[in-house]
Amino acid sequence: MMDIIQIREVIPHRYPFLFVDRIVEWTSDTIVGVKNVSANEPFFQGHFPNDPIMPGVLILEAMAQTGGILVFTVFPQYRHKTFYFAGLDKVRFRKPVRPGDQLVMKVKLQKQRSGFFKMLGEAFVDDVLVAEAELMANIDMSSVETKGD
């Protein structure tokens, strides 16, 4: 288990762009994170006021942040480097995510080579698949440690 305080020690994201509230499980190649989707999320003001739906790109970002936590936990030598999204393949959105939902992200590391990572991400609400994607990311080997607040 990893709570929000521990998550903030691992990745640099902060409100309003931190989309992982808790890590409930991880192994050397798989991680499960949780995002509690609140009606107070700032993006619901415009997406959409009369039919609030979590933007798909933010579901992907939540999966990517979960994957970043996996990478920084399993490969601590990269912990103070910048982790960048490098690409997405096979993206599918199956069902909308709404206020009150608990988004559960499952991310599995498929390939790792010298700072490049390919992962399979899936997002669920109530055990129903709502989104999936292949995520690619890489570590900026020239980046230095930055302190978030």
Burial profile 35-49: b = 16 or more Cβ within 10 angstroms, e = fewer? bebeeebeebeeeee
The rounded mean pLDDT for the chain is 94
Largest distance between two CA atoms of the chain: 46
pLDDT (tens digit, 9 = 90+) per residue, 70-96?
999 999 999 889 999 999 999 999 999
pLDDT of residue 80: 85
Q: What share of the chain is helix, strand, coil (3-state, %, to 5)?
A: 20, 40, 40
Segment 128-148 shows an average pLDDT of 83
pLDDT over threshold 80, residue 146: no
- In this prediction, residues 134-147 reach a mean pLDDT of 79
Mean pLDDT of the 113-127 span:
96
Q: Can you name the residues that pair with 129 across neighbouring β-strands? A: 124
Rg of the Cα atoms in the chain: 15
The fold for domain 4-140 equals: Thiol Ester Dehydrase; Chain A (3.10.129)
Q: Specify whether 47 is catalytic.
A: yes
Question: Distance from CA of residue 136 to its chain's centroid?
Answer: 12
Residues sharing a CB contact under 8 Å with residue 44, sequence separation 6 or more, in sequence order? 52, 54, 99
Structure tokens at 43: 């993006």
pLDDT at residue 147 above 70? Answer: no
Catalytic residue among 8, 47, 79, 108: 47
Is residue 18's pLDDT more than 50?
yes
Query: Which one has a higher pLDDT value, 143 or 41?
Result: 41
pTM for this entry: 0.94
